[in-house]
Amino acid sequence: MTVAISIGIFLSIILFVEGAYYCYHQYMNPHNKNLKRRLRGGSGKPGDLQKTQEAPGILRNRKMSDIPWIQNLLGSMTSLGGLERLLQQANSQMPVGVFFLLSGVLGGAGLLVATFQDYGMFAALGLSLMGMSLPLLQMKRKRKRRFKEFERQLPEALDLMARALRAGHAFSVGMKMIGDEFPDPIGPEFSRTVEEISFGIDVPQAMNNLNGRVISTDLKFFVTALVVQRETGGNLAEIIEAISRLIRQRFELLGRVKALSAEGRMSGIILFCMPIVMSILLWFLNEAYMRILIEDEIGRMMALGSGLLMLVGAYVMKNMCDIKV
């Protein structure tokens, strides 16, 4: 009976989404609105160009799904720009539609497991939300790792640009050298900036676009210094060398801070892993004692509450040890 109810709810949601999409497409017609906005953006009229600064970004957006009606539905949702930006920043080739499909499959799998095992409503909801959040957490993890690698490569890239400027090359040539010589992530990002400059976007705007794609404090220093130098003048090679030296000093200070806070991080890891290890040991030593936490309703609620409190504690200790430099 529970499985039949779950299937009925799933089919009802599918029919509701289909009906909502049909009504929205029939009366609002977002495809024609997007087409008119793109045509206005390319008409060359100053007023239209000023109102549609997002037109180049729209034209560069990736396809969200290979299924036409899903593509039209996702394309009409302006709130999905942040999710697509997250996928691009994580250097993921996964379309937004596949991301939603994967999240739905994992969430449904958690719901089905909890339903068949009769874990209860709260456990089913928790497993479903956990499964749905796994792709998002993985993409945020990939983005964070990619940004850290970008910051690690940035001082060497700035040194290469400073040497190119001292040798008499133009700024765009130095940017192109970075794009050709360095691997992902800094190489492709600088290559994209060079392409924007070659297509007619001015240098400050192209660098601000780079700053919007990559979340990095060091990159903000570089972009701000470059914009100020182009307005006021000065020796750009010396400015870039000073920024590179400042970034290296910041890395050195960050290493010292990590060494001083290593004890707190290790304590947090031990406190988080100890209940899990003890639960596994007790399961093998006295299985009947641990089965109460799974078979009994109160036991399941206690286990779920303990897990949530562990996650909250891990989050608090991580923020305490994560010192910004």
Q: Give mean pLDDT, residues 81-92.
A: 87
Measured at the CA of 44, the angle between CA 39 and CA 49, to 5 degrees, comes to: 75
Residue 76 DSSP SS3: coil
* pTM of the predicted protein model: 0.69
Q: Tens digits of per-residue pLDDT, 19-54?
A: 565 555 544 555 555 555 554 544 444 444 444 344
Taking the C-alpha atoms of residue 88 and residue 70, their distance in angstroms, rounded to an integer, is 20
**pLDDT tens digit string along 258-279?**
888 888 889 889 999 999 999 9
> Do 196 and 174 contact (CB within 8 A), yes or no?
no
Give per-residue pLDDT as tens, 217-255: 999 999 999 999 988 988 999 999 999 999 999 999 988
Domain ranges of the chain: 2-123, 146-256, 261-325
Q: Domain 146-256 has what CATH class?
A: mainly alpha
